[in-house]
């Protein structure tokens, strides 16, 4: 079964074709991140407009790439396939939609204007091409990115660490899970982004914090970890403020010094030390909470997914301090993509079926 996935919840317009929930036939991701960089965060109107501009070419590209991958046409037919946008199969030409069995789309959570573009496109295509439609929760789908090249077993403990969410979930089966804990304020990716802004690094902050941290001393600043009532919950807002205070002090100013002026007065090595100390503190919290849950629930598999799961320091820390091996999606599938949406639809099956005439985006859809 080949599913076309469509994802537009934030600033990535993505389309992908996945066969039987495992085989990645195509994966097209077009990001509007450069357009948001100047503003230090995602501007919803700009995100929605760029989805509108690239969603149809993106879907088209995903269909073409999938054809090329599943049929590996002979050298002579390659050009024809590319030029005509049709599948060459022997001497006959097929509509590229013939290979698609269903369409899956992110219903939420995310930005309403962005979600609308994906949902309305998917609904229209499902009706026009007469394909079943699946509605997928974006946060849950992050976990399914790991099913693309691994075989996690149940019970499956998943730590989802993204720009919008930090959730610890115990899956007993597909469609059957228990939320163990979540962040009570900022998501961990959001904390990476906010700390990057304090230090003057571009949005999204995760990769630039990781890069600066590699040159810094992770023990230069002592940053406190939040104490939580529920040991499976998280809080990162205090850590972000602790970085701000440490930066103000390190630059020789008091706490009234505006954060917007910090990038100019901090030295390169101070920024690297602050980035490394923050990264260590944030990742230590994630790993410590995860270990508690592993000990309590004794899962058969542990998955870490979402944008922050691409952080190499986090993976190293997990490798050295957790009692269990962790399964990660491929680096490219940690951040937002549509392959995880298509994979989730395959495994969730009937439970995710949606009406193409009425499916509405839900910006605050919860798991
Ligand atoms: O999963 P994702 O692409 O989007 C959401 O669903 O939110 O996650 C994006 C988040 C951003 O906050 C970004 O800074 C963070 O993932 N991120 C990273 C890294 N790459 C992306 N954080 C830490 N280290 C990274 N290498
Ligand atoms: Zn995401």
Q: Probe ligand 1: pick from 139, 189, 306, max atoms within 8 Å of CB?
A: 189
Condensed to tens digits (0 to 9), the pLDDT of residues 130-153 reads 999 999 999 999 999 999 999 999
| Distance in Å, CA 85 to ligand 1 centroid | 34
Ligand 1 neighbours, Cβ below 6 Å, are 10, 162-164, 189, 192-193, 204-207, 210, 306-308, 310-311, 335-336
Q: Probe ligand 1: pick from 33, 281, 308, max atoms within 8 Å of CB?
A: 308
Among 35-49, 190-204, 292-306, the least confident range: 35-49
Among 16-20, 155-159, 200-204, 271-275, the least confident range: 200-204
Cα 150 to its chain centre, rounded Å, is 17
| Distance in Å, CA 162 to ligand 1 centroid | 5
Residue with tokens 């066969």: 19
Q: What percent of the chain has pLDDT over 90?
A: 86
30 CB neighbour count, 10 Å cutoff: 17
d(CA 218, CA 56): 45
Q: Which two tokens stand for residue 239?
A: 């850590």
CA of 9, closest atom in ligand 1 = 6
CA of 190, closest atom in ligand 1 = 12
CA of 142, closest atom in ligand 1 = 1
Residue 103 predicted with pLDDT over 60 = yes
Entry pTM: 0.92
Contact 134, 3 (CB under 8 A): yes
Which bound ligand lies closest to the C-alpha atom of 206?
1
64: left (phi over 0), alpha (psi -120 to 50) or beta: alpha
Which bound ligand lies closest to the C-alpha atom of 29?
1
Residue 84 predicted with pLDDT over 60 = no
Provide the residues around ligand 2 (an ion) whose CB is within 5 A.
162, 336
| Distance in Å, CA 345 to ligand 2 centroid | 16
């Amino acid at each position: 079964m080949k599913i076309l996935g469509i994802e537009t919840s934030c600033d990535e317009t993505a389309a992908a074709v996945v066969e039987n929930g495992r085989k990645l036939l195509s994966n097209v991701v077009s990001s509007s991140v450069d357009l948001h960089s100047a503003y230090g965060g995602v501007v919803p109107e700009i995100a929605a407009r760029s989805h509108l501009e690239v969603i149809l070419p993106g879907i088209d590209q995903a269909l073409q790439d999938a054809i090329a991958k599943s049929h590996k046409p002979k050298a002579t037919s390659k050009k024809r396939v590319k030029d005509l946008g049709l599948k060459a199969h022997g001497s006959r030409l097929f509509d590229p939609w013939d290979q698609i069995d269903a369409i899956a789309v992110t219903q939420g959570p995310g930005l309403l204007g962005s979600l609308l573009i994906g949902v309305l496109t998917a609904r229209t295509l499902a009706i026009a091409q007469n394909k079943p439609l699946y509605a997928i929760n974006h946060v849950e789908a992050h976990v399914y990115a790991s099913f693309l090249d691994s075989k996690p077993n149940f019970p499956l403990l998943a730590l989802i660490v993204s720009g919008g969410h930090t959730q610890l979930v115990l899956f007993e089966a597909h469609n059957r899970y228990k939320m163990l804990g979540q962040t009570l304020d900022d998501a961990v990716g959001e904390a990476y982004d906010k700390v990057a802004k304090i230090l003057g690094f571009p949005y999204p902050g995760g990769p630039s914090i990781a890069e600066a941290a590699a040159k810094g001393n992770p023990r230069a600043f002592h940053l406190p970890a939040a104490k939580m009532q529920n040991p499976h919950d998280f809080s990162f807002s205090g850590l972000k403020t602790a970085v701000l205070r440490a930066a103000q002090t390190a630059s020789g100013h008091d706490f009234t010094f505006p954060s917007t002026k910090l990038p100019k007065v901090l030295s390169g090595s101070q920024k690297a030390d602050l980035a490394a100390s923050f990264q260590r503190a944030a990742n230590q919290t994630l790993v410590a909470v995860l270990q508690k849950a592993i000990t309590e629930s004794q899962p058969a598999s542990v998955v870490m997914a979402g944008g922050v799961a691409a952080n190499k320091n986090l993976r190293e820390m997990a490798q050295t301090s957790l009692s269990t091996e962790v399964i990660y999606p491929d680096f490219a599938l940690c951040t937002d993509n549509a392959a995880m949406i298509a994979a989730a639809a395959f495994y969730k099956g009937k439970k995710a079926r949606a009406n193409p005439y009425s499916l509405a985006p839900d910006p605050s859809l919860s798991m």
